């Protein structure tokens, strides 16, 4: 069974200023042991998508569609069931998580917290598990007795990963897990995440604005623009030969992992992403698109299969796709 399946997921924030459709009709699947990268500029809906997977959205968000985790819909499960699922079946490593550690609690106690809450281990057994988890993320067991301020940013992020792994979840959702780290440490943490998910057969959904980071870590990529997936396929194909002009612009903007330029706005891509509350008609990308046609401003373009369909699924929502693959 597919570990995670999103079917036509839509999230709209309701506010007094009007509705903000942050995620619009996203369908994606993820197998156990597979890593899916979700890329896009700020405001494309990536974090909203990540938070929805664990039903962590604010109350003013209205959600439709299905989020099937091992076949069970996260959106309709009871609060009791949801509490059981969080950490134990699916856990989240979020942006800037290294700042989320409690400064006055010992590191070991914080890693053990999900184990305690889920009644999985206490006392000596919990201490053993914490030592094992610290070792898995490349930290010595004695760090359990220390406090967060004694660690570097990269080490704190490793602690957060240890905490996410504590209850042996089936799925980890990582939202910009390395963005706040310097280049060398970023590469180390990415390789740690990659090896842990492969070793434990965990599914990973990793969110980033940096396509090169995702391409180096994930098997497949989904590129989001204005709340929609505009391209999805094997990482190498999407990164090196994206069929949607927006994917190509992102790949050009972030050519190599850790490039300092990667921290800046995408090069060669003029204009700003649209305000989700006032989306342009037709393809949302058309006002910034270097290859748009008159029809792009009139009709939205659905995802289309790239190639002849004999390879791994690859889709892109661009009028030019059907012409290329003919």
Ligand X SMILES: Nc1ncnc2c1ncn2[C@@H]1O[C@H](COP(=O)(O)OP(=O)(O)OP(=O)(O)O)[C@@H](O)[C@H]1O
Nearer to ligand X, 12 or 89 (CB): 12
Nearer to ligand X, 46 or 86 (CB): 46
Q: At closest approach, how far in Å is the CB of 14 from ligand X?
A: 8
Instruction: Classify burial at 33, counting beta carbons within 10 Å of its beta carbon; exposed 0-12, middle 13-18, buried 19 or more.
Output: middle
Angle at 286 between CA 280 and CA 291, to 5 degrees: 170
For residue 33, give both structure tokens: 């042991």
Q: Fill in the DSSP letter of residue 218.
A: -
Q: At closest approach, how far in Å is the CB of 109 from ligand X?
A: 30
Helix%, strand%, coil% for the chain, nearest 5: 40, 25, 40
Q: At closest approach, how far in Å is the CB of 60 from ligand X?
A: 6
For residue 233, give both structure tokens: 């396929």
- What is the b/e burial string over 112-146, where b = at least 16 CB atoms within 10 angstroms of the residue's CB? bbbbeeeebbeeeebbebbbebbebbebeeebbeb
Q: At closest approach, how far in Å is the CB of 57 from ligand X?
A: 8
Nearer to ligand X, 27 or 179 (CB): 179
Nearer to ligand X, 12 or 216 (CB): 12
Phi/psi of residue 183, each to 5°? -55, -45
Angle between helices 153-165 and 123-136 (to 10 degrees): 130
Nearer to ligand X, 40 or 108 (CB): 40
Q: Fill in the DSSP letter of residue 100.
A: -
Q: At closest approach, how far in Å is the CB of 213 from ligand X?
A: 13
Interacting residue ranges for ligand X, rule: CB under 6 A: 13, 15, 20, 22, 40, 42-48, 58, 209, 276
For residue 203, give both structure tokens: 């599914």
Nearer to ligand X, 156 or 209 (CB): 209
Q: At closest approach, how far in Å is the CB of 240 from ligand X?
A: 23
């Amino acid at each position: 069974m597919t570990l995670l399946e999103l079917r036509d997921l839509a999230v709209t924030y309701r506010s007094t200023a009007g509705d903000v459709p942050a995620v619009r009709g996203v369908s994606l699947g993820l197998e156990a042991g597979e890593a899916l990268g979700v890329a896009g500029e700020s405001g494309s809906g990536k974090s909203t998508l990540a938070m929805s997977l664990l039903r962590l959205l604010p109350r003013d968000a209205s959600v439709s569609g299905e989020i099937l985790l091992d076949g069970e819909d996260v959106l309709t499960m009871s609060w009791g069931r949801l509490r059981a699922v969080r950490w134990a079946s699916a856990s989240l490593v979020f942006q800037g998580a290294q700042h989320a550690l409690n400064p006055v609690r010992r590191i070991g106690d914080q890693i053990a917290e999900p184990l305690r809450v889920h009644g999985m281990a206490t006392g000596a057994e919990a201490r053993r598990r914490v030592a094992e988890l610290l070792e898995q993320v490349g930290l010595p067991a004695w760090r359990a007795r220390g406090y967060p301020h004694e660690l570097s940013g990269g080490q704190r992020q490793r602690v957060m990963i240890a905490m996410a792994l504590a209850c042996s979840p089936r799925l980890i959702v990582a939202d910009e897990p390395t963005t706040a780290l310097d280049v060398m440490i970023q590469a180390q943490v990415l390789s740690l995440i990659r090896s842990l998910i492969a070793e434990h057969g965990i599914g990973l959904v990793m969110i980033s604005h940096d396509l090169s980071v995702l391409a180096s870590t994930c098997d497949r990529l989904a590129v989001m623009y204005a709340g929609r997936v505009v391209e999805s396929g094997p990482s190498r194909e999407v990164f090196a030969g994206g069929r949607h002009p927006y994917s190509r612009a992102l790949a050009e903007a972030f050519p190599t992992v850790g490039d300092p330029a990667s921290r800046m706005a995408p090069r060669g891509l003029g204009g700003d992403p649209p305000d989700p509350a006032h989306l342009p008609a037709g393809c949302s990308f058309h006002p910034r698109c270097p290859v748009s046609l008159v029809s792009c401003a009139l009709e939205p373009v659905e995802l289309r299969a790239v190639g002849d369909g004999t390879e791994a699924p690859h889709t892109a929502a661009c009028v030019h796709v059907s012409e290329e693959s003919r």
